[in-house]
Amino acid sequence: MIATAYDPTDPDQLRDPYGVFAELREQNGVFWSDVLSGWVAVDWESVNAVVTTPAVFSANRIVAVHGRLSDVDRANAADVLRWLSLWMVFQDPPNHTRLRKYLTNVINPRMAATMAPAITEITDEILGELPTDTPFDFFREVGLRLPGYVVMDLLGVPRQRLAEVKQWSDEMMLFIGSSRGVEDKYGRAKHGAESMAGLFRGLIDDRRQNPRDDVLTRMITLEVGGETMTEDELVAAMMMIGNGAQETTAHLLSNGILALHDQPEAAARLRADLAGLIPTAIDEFLRFDSPVLSTGRLVTTNVDLGGQSLKAGDRIFAMLAAANRDPIVFDSPDELRLEGRPNGHLAFSKGVHFCLGAPLARLEGQIAFTQLLQRFPNLTLGEPTSSIPWTNSMVARGPQRLPIILDPEG
């Protein structure tokens, strides 16, 4: 039963995996999945161990992908693999430490705070363009556009190129966690990677010739130990930021809307005290239904975890969303407690790979929900939750679309 209960492709489990996670957790915190050809960790203690012990559970799992590909796929994937191998999230210390020093000097809580006026302006502009009395797709029109415009500003890309960059990003992400059943995914991923690399190389060259007071210029000129990032490292970092900063925030916003719909008493309390509750509410949204389902690791040495014996070379999926509902850590985990709780959630991971953009994502969530609920306190879903399709991915967790009506009485 343990090996077969979890099916990450089942539409019902995509929508709500938490019942299955709870059943599995009661039997064992770690189990083998034939579907995934790897181990799956669902309890907080095991997931925490996976994400905080890089010497045993390596983030550098890109090399293992190469050996599993056919010759044709390997040719298409070679360039994508090269770029992904430079992403900080797929590296372990000490090189991860070196790259993170560069980026944390540029992308940090201070930087996020300076972007509050721009985020407020973007949110106000987007909300002002929406229909109020007919359904529209919140995920696409608000969820993706808000963090998309923010990250375009961050990287120095004109906002009008967002749709183009998002398409390339989606193509590249076919390689990582949302490609089951997709034809020619490696060819499409290659196209996305090449297109993004071309755009970002052009921006880097422009900043070298015409420095500005912006994030990209600081990334280019910053020295750590007397050295700057190489051009390939800069391009890879821009790819990583562009890929990671949009979809996850879009799912944070969309999953939060769904959580408020499912727990109307909590929603009423939030509307009654937005200013007081919104900071803790965002972290509770993140815990309650994480925008990241799991993070993968490669086992580097034989190790026991959660009562199981893992072998070097095994894959393991640390289910962040499942860990965030572990009743040993979170009292009444299926209840949305917006007033705050001892919230050691793992939605942003933990340890050396704690999400670099966490302060920015929290700020985007606070501003977006504050403006949204102030302007449209009666917003409701445009169709039953049972008919809303969910993203088929081991990484992203959220709806593919989210129809809502802002003012059903308008």
- The whole-number average pLDDT for the span 70-82 is 79
DSSP secondary structure string, 285-307?
HHHHT-SB--EEEEE-S-EEETT
- Reduced to 3 DSSP states, what percent helix, strand and coil does the chain have, rounded to the nearest 5? 55, 10, 35
Lowest mean pLDDT among 58-72, 236-250, 337-351: 58-72
DSSP one-letter string for 61-109: -HHHHHHTS-HHHHHHHHHHHHHHHHSGGG--TTHHHHHHHHHHTTSSH
What are residue 218's phi and psi, to 5 degrees? Answer: -65, -40
Where would I find the beta strands (DSSP E) of 161-283? none
How high is the pLDDT of residue 76?
75
Give which of 23, 32, 18 is closest to 299, Cα–Cα.
32
CATH 1.10.630.10 fits 64-292+336-405, yes or no: yes
Helix (H, G, I), strand (E, B) or coil at 315: strand
Long-range own/partner contacts, residues 10-17 (CB < 8 A, 24 or more apart) = 11/389, 11/390, 14/390, 14/391, 14/392, 15/385, 15/386, 15/388, 15/390, 17/293, 17/321, 17/322
Interval 355-363 mean pLDDT = 97
Confidence of residue 1 (pLDDT cuts 50, 70, 90): very low
Count Cβ atoms below 10 Å from residue 226 Cβ, excluding itself: 5
Q: Which residue has the tokens 């996020």?
A: 112
Identify the band that residue 341 occupies on the pLDDT scale cut at 50, 70 and 90: confident
Cα(86)–Cα(234) distance, integer angstroms: 9
Q: How confident is the model at residue 331 (pLDDT cuts 50, 70, 90)?
A: very high
pLDDT at 343: 82
The Cα 136–Cα 144 span in angstroms is: 13
- The Cα–Cα gap between 280 and 169 comes to 31
Sheet holding 403-405, edge to edge: 136-137, 403-405, 380-381
- Examine the pLDDT at 409 and tell me if it is beyond 80: no
* Nearest by Cα to 80 from 204, 314, 239, 298: 239
Residue 384 DSSP class:
-
Give the whole-angstrom CA distance, residue 163 versus residue 159.
Answer: 9
Are 257 and 267 in contact by the 8 Å Cβ rule? The answer is no
**Strand 315-318 versus strand 38-41 pairing type:** parallel
How far from chain centre, in Å, is Cα 99? 20
* Averaged pLDDT, 55-79: 80
| CA–CA separation, 47 and 29 (whole Å) | 9
Model confidence over 200-252: pLDDT tens digits?
999 999 999 999 999 999 999 999 999 999 999 999 999 999 988 899 999 99
| Dist CA 309 CA 395 (whole Å) | 25
Where in 199-352 does DSSP place strands (E)? 295-299, 303-305, 308-310, 315-318
Tens-digit pLDDT profile for residues 121-136: 999 999 999 999 999 9
pLDDT (tens digit per residue) in 283-310: 999 999 999 999 999 999 999 999 999 9
Q: Which residue has the tokens 């803790």?
A: 280
Residue-range domain boundaries for the chain: 64-292+336-405
306-328 burial string, b = 16+ CB within 10 Å, else e?
bebebeeebbbbbbbbbbbbbee
Distance of alpha carbon 87 from alpha carbon 190, whole angstroms: 16
Give the per-residue pLDDT at 208.
97
- Cα–Cα dist 18/334, whole Å: 9
pLDDT value, residue 181:
60
Q: What pLDDT score does 280 carry?
A: 96
Mean predicted lDDT score pLDDT of the chain: 93
Name the least confident of 34-43, 213-222, 390-399, 400-409: 400-409
Query: What's the alpha-carbon Rg for the chain, to the nearest Å?
Result: 21
Residues in CB range of 88: below 8 A, 6 or more apart: 96, 99, 100, 103, 237, 240, 356
Q: What sign does the CA torsion over 84, 87, 92, 93 have?
A: positive
Q: What angle do CA 221, 93, 105 make, to 5 degrees?
A: 30
CA neighbor of 283 nearest in space, from 330, 243, 353: 330
Could you give the percent of the chain with pLDDT greater than 90? Answer: 85
Cβ pair 130, 406 in contact under 8 A: yes
The half-sphere exposure of 128 on its side-chain side, counting CA atoms within 13 A, is: 6
